[in-house]
């Protein structure tokens, strides 16, 4: 916080309340320094939530990627993003803001050159909770991350016809006889030499999905817990799960 806040927050003042829950203190700023917006001198709040160090843009670069939450970012950007800073060995300098590209729960992938990471992301909207694991990279900025595993939890979502007690997975069809991955609950480094990482997951079997939809109450679907394992195969990260899950709609 002491190292990076002065580079991104103009005249920071710590707020009495912690708007960012368990992500650390929140600061009021008279402007966000270097933010790519013509209104960057407006009053904003920011909380720095995580930092990763490594060569993100070039093999020998000494860089830091700082994730943040801010009043500047909308819900579509999950209220935050990332900031790239670079050091010459003595001093840090701000390189670029990446609105919407927070990387808070990530593990570095092996390899030389610009660093890639395996990251757990979460987004909540319209009572749907989406969790996913992606291979991310800061450079090049125009390239989107690659999804490795995606979960979609519609148990609390309201059906388009509110008189119908079923949730979206049952109304849309095509899911009744397929297992569904509801959530990816963690991402940690594996202790096994033949794999990168593991995740605790929550899912529903095909039989449970069919039974819940037939009863008209998907919110009460019976769930199971298990593990997903991530390995490198043919140069790509792949996920190995206990079931073959239906596709998400994102």
Residues with Cβ within 8 Å of 77's Cβ and at least 6 positions away in sequence, in order, are 99, 100
Sketch the domain layout of the chain as residue ranges. Answer: 1-103, 107-250
What distance in Å separates the CA atoms of residue 122 and residue 135, rounded to the nearest whole number?
14
Tell me whether residue 197 is exposed, middle or buried, using C-beta atoms within 10 angstroms of its C-beta: 0 to 12, 13 to 18, 19 or more.
buried
What distance in Å separates the CA atoms of residue 141 and residue 192, rounded to the nearest whole number?
32
Mean per-residue pLDDT of the chain: 87
User: Could you write out the DSSP letters of every residue in 81-120?
Assistant: EEEEEEE-SS-EEEEEEEET----EEEEPS-SSS-EEEEE
Closest CA to 102 of 64, 68, 63, 61: 68
Percent helix / strand / coil, the chain, rounded to 5: 10, 40, 45
Could you report the average pLDDT of every consecutive run of 10 residues in the chain (250 residues)?
Answer: 92 75 79 78 83 92 95 87 93 93 92 90 89 89 78 79 56 69 98 96 94 85 97 94 92
What distance in Å separates the CA atoms of residue 233 and residue 237, rounded to the nearest whole number?
6
pLDDT at position 216: 79
Is the Cβ–Cβ distance between 209 and 176 less than 8 Å?
A: yes
Tokens representing 174 are 């095509």
- The pTM score is 0.86
Strand 80-87 with 63-70, pairing: antiparallel
What distance in Å separates the CA atoms of residue 134 and residue 125, rounded to the nearest whole number?
19
Residues with Cβ within 8 Å of 91's Cβ and at least 6 positions away in sequence, in order, are none
Tokens representing 197 are 């990482």
φ, ψ at 103 (rounded to 5°): -130, 80
pLDDT at position 164: 45
pLDDT digits (tens, 9 = 90+) for 145-174: 789 999 999 988 755 554 444 466 776 655
pLDDT at position 20: 46
Residues with Cβ within 8 Å of 176's Cβ and at least 6 positions away in sequence, in order, are 170, 209, 210, 213, 214
User: Could you write out the DSSP letters of every residue in 195-237?
Assistant: -SEEEEEEEE-HHHHHHHHHHT-GGG---EEEEEEEEEETTEE
């Amino acid at each position: 916080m002491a190292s990076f806040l002065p580079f991104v927050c103009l005249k920071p003042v710590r707020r009495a309340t912690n708007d960012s829950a368990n992500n650390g203190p929140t600061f009021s700023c008279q402007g966000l320094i270097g933010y790519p917006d013509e209104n960057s001198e407006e009053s904003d709040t920011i909380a720095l939530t995580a930092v990763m160090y490594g060569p993100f843009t070039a093999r020998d670069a000494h860089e830091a990627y700082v994730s943040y939450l801010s009043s500047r970012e909308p819900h579509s950007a999950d209220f935050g993003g990332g900031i790239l800073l670079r050091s010459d060995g003595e001093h840090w300098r701000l390189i670029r803001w990446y609105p919407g590209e927070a990387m808070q729960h990530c593990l570095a992938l092996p390899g030389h050159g610009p660093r890639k990471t395996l990251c757990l992301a979460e987004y909540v909207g319209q009572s749907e909770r989406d969790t996913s694991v992606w291979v991310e990279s800061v450079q090049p900025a125009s390239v989107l991350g690659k999804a490795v595993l995606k979960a979609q939890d519609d148990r609390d979502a309201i059906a388009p016809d509110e008189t119908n007690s079923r949730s979206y997975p049952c109304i849309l069809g095509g899911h009744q006889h397929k297992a569904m991955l509801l959530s990816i609950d963690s991402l940690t480094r594996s202790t096994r030499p033949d794999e990168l990482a593991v995740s605790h997951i929550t899912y529903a079997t095909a039989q449970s999905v069919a039974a819940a939809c037939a009863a008209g109450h998907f919110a009460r679907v019976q769930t199971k817990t298990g593990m997903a394992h991530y390995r490198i195969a043919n140069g790509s990260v792949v996920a190995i799960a206990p079931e073959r899950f239906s596709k998400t709609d994102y």
